[in-house]
Amino acid sequence: MARRVSAVKLISALYPSLSELKHTCPVDEALDIVKQHLERGADIDGMESLRNVLMLPFDSEVMKQVESGEWLLVRDEAYYFDRGQIDKSVGAKLFEHRVMELMNPSPGAKKSYGCIFKVISFDSREPLIERPYIAMVSGKIIEGRTDSEGRVQLLAPSDGVPVSIRVSFRTPLQHTGGLFSESTDTAFVTELMSRELDANTWVCRIAVNDRAMTRHLMIKRAEISGFPITDRSEWGAVKSGKHISYDWDYSMIALHHAGRSYGCGGSGSTKMGRVFSEHLEKFGDIGYHFGIDCSGQIFEGRDIRLKGASVAGYNTKVIGVVLLEDLTNAGEVGDVVDRARGFMEVLGQKTQNTVPAEQMNALTALIGIIRSVFPIEILGGHREFPKQTQEGKVCPGNNGMKIVEALRGTTGLEVP
Ligand SMILES: [Zn+2]
């Protein structure tokens, strides 16, 4: 009774059915699939029949038949009655189920119940395959992964049983393992009631926003580490507009200082607001992703999902972090401001700018949090990045560079 199910089938192009034509793979795709099967020595339905009509049953001859369109590669959807939106395995089961019903109609034919979900990426709208999930069906916990089309089928004992599912998210480092326990929020649980499964069963879509969840995870980890990140809305950043684009595959961190007009005293929020207003016109938002004040308070700058504007001509893949003070040494820059400062030092007034321990601890913690989600390889002071000019040649000052070198020593990160 069991019909052999394979994903594709080769048929002669002489007498295809309408349904077969509708599910024929384009020639390029067909060639790829057939070639892969031939290389693996794997069987395709219909291959025997094809070889039987060839003068010489060589693989190259098989390929020629597919290439010329004499033989078509048909997806097995062509053989389902009304497949609807149901996945292949479900479709195949339903197919058998229906054939059995047809052959042996009985009023007490067994029905199945449950829910079908399709998990897609919030960003790309593509199905998320092999994505782990945890589900609960009438109190029983079920763990699994989405199938090759991003689908999940959960069976329930009867109609109207509560079914809930939570799909794991993924950071760029691909660590999904501990993420379930770190996101216990009920907001990420989808709940439905089971219903009868048939070819027309409604498929519930779940869009997983990996980027938003990664940001959420960073904020949560910072809180746990004792260095909470102050949300950008809390220091008064407004929604940004122009010059903004997305970025995500971060592999570098650039360290900055706020510059010579900034001191250690005063509120970090106020300083973030000041940097924001200095950057707004030119960059559409604050350019740095994070700021840290001298007391060790960490501020969210530009949303991590957006490309920064902190290293001229070199922002892709770079997370910008600014220490909200001046980290140059007297004599380092050699302009009017610097000469005046040198004069003050001669008079015995110390202008040396060092990084307070609290700020250093916060920076170390922040780098750890960033590295827990992004595959960071490089840590550089702003001026170490290629082709920087003017303030970019100074930033983050000689004292900032000492910090960068010390951090490279402890983290093993590399020079830009
Ligand atoms: Zn800089």
Report d(CA 400, CA 405) in Å as an integer: 9
Does the pLDDT value for residue 384 go beyond 90?
yes
Compute the distance from residue 323 Cα to the ligand 1 centre, in Å. 10
Report d(CA 257, CA 269) in Å as an integer: 16
- For the segment 250-262, the average pLDDT, to the nearest whole number, is 94
Q: How many domains does the chain have?
A: 3
Does the pLDDT value for residue 195 go beyond 60?
yes
- For the segment 329-355, the average pLDDT, to the nearest whole number, is 63
Considering the domain architecture, whether residues 259 and 403 belong to the same structural domain is answered as yes
CATH label of the domain that carries residue 141: 2.60.40.10
Compute the distance from residue 398 Cα to the ligand 1 centre, in Å. 12
Considering the domain architecture, whether residues 352 and 315 belong to the same structural domain is answered as yes
Compute the distance from residue 346 Cα to the ligand 1 centre, in Å. 28
Compute the distance from residue 399 Cα to the ligand 1 centre, in Å. 13
Per-residue pLDDT tens digits for 146-185: 888 888 989 999 999 999 998 888 889 875 544 555 555 5
Q: Which of the 8 DSSP states describes residue 320? A: E
What is the distance of C-alpha 291 from the center of its chain? 24
Considering the domain architecture, whether residues 151 and 119 belong to the same structural domain is answered as yes
Does the residue 337 lie in any domain?
yes
Is-contact 327 353, C-beta < 8 A?
Answer: yes
Does the residue 260 lie in any domain?
yes
Considering the domain architecture, whether residues 346 and 248 belong to the same structural domain is answered as yes
Report d(CA 37, CA 55) in Å as an integer: 21
Q: Which domain holds residue 157?
A: 88-92+108-208
Q: What is the value of pTM for the model shown?
A: 0.69
pLDDT band at 373 (very low <50, low <70, confident <90, very high): very high
Does the pLDDT value for residue 300 go beyond 90?
yes
Considering the domain architecture, whether residues 161 and 300 belong to the same structural domain is answered as no
Does the residue 100 lie in any domain?
no
Compute the distance from residue 340 Cα to the ligand 1 centre, in Å. 23
Does the residue 1 lie in any domain?
no
Residues in the chain: 416
Considering the domain architecture, whether residues 248 and 166 belong to the same structural domain is answered as no
Poorest-pLDDT segment among 96-105, 126-135, 371-380: 96-105
Compute the distance from residue 280 Cα to the ligand 1 centre, in Å. 16
Q: Which of 208, 242, 276 is the last residue of a domain?
A: 208
Compute the distance from residue 326 Cα to the ligand 1 centre, in Å. 11
Considering the domain architecture, whether residues 202 and 243 belong to the same structural domain is answered as no
Does the residue 219 lie in any domain?
no
Compute the distance from residue 379 Cα to the ligand 1 centre, in Å. 13
CATH label of the domain that carries residue 404: 3.40.80.10
Considering the domain architecture, whether residues 271 and 406 belong to the same structural domain is answered as yes
pLDDT at position 217 is 86
Handedness of CA 377, 380, 384, 385 (dihedral sign): positive
Compute the distance from residue 298 Cα to the ligand 1 centre, in Å. 17
Tell me which residues have their CB within 5 A of the ion that is ligand 1.
256, 382, 395
Please state, as a whole number, how many other Cβ atoms lie within 10 Å of the Cβ of residue 274: 16
Does the residue 390 lie in any domain?
yes
Q: How far is CA 168 from CA 84, 181, 208, 309, in A?
A: 27, 10, 8, 31
Compute the distance from residue 344 Cα to the ligand 1 centre, in Å. 26
Per-residue pLDDT tens digits for 18-28: 777 778 888 88
Compute the distance from residue 177 Cα to the ligand 1 centre, in Å. 36
pLDDT at position 28 is 87
pLDDT band at 102 (very low <50, low <70, confident <90, very high): very low
Does the residue 98 lie in any domain?
no
Is-contact 171 125, C-beta < 8 A?
Answer: no
Is-contact 34 62, C-beta < 8 A?
Answer: yes
> Which residues are CB-neighbours of 178 under 8 A, at least 6 positions away?
none
Considering the domain architecture, whether residues 267 and 369 belong to the same structural domain is answered as yes
Q: Which of the 8 DSSP states describes residue 306? A: B
Q: Which of 159, 181, 208 is the last residue of a domain?
A: 208
Considering the domain architecture, whether residues 20 and 154 belong to the same structural domain is answered as no
Q: Which of 208, 234, 262 is the last residue of a domain?
A: 208
Report d(CA 8, CA 44) in Å as an integer: 7
Handedness of CA 99, 100, 106, 110 (dihedral sign): negative
Does the residue 2 lie in any domain?
no
Compute the distance from residue 318 Cα to the ligand 1 centre, in Å. 12
Per-residue pLDDT tens digits for 197-208: 877 778 888 888
Is-contact 286 301, C-beta < 8 A?
Answer: yes
Considering the domain architecture, whether residues 182 and 252 belong to the same structural domain is answered as no
Structure tokens at 290: 């994070």
Structure tokens at 78: 């062509």
SS3 state of residue 379? strand
Considering the domain architecture, whether residues 290 and 385 belong to the same structural domain is answered as yes
Per-residue pLDDT tens digits for 31-84: 998 988 888 877 788 888 888 777 666 788 888 888 888 888 988 777 664 433
Structure tokens at 215: 């940001």
Per-residue pLDDT tens digits for 231-253: 999 998 876 667 788 899 999 99
Structure tokens at 66: 């597919």
What is the distance of C-alpha 307 from the center of its chain? 15
Which helix (H) or strand (E) covers residue 391, if one does?
helix 391-394
Structure tokens at 370: 């960033």
What beta strand segments (E) does 23-131 contain?
71-75, 113-121
Does the pLDDT value for residue 2 go beyond 50?
no
Compute the distance from residue 241 Cα to the ligand 1 centre, in Å. 22
Q: How far is CA 37 from CA 7, 13, 147, 150, in A?
A: 12, 20, 21, 23
Per-residue pLDDT tens digits for 112-142: 889 989 999 988 889 999 898 989 998 899 9
> Which of 186, 305, 157 has the alpha carbon at shortest distance from 240?
305
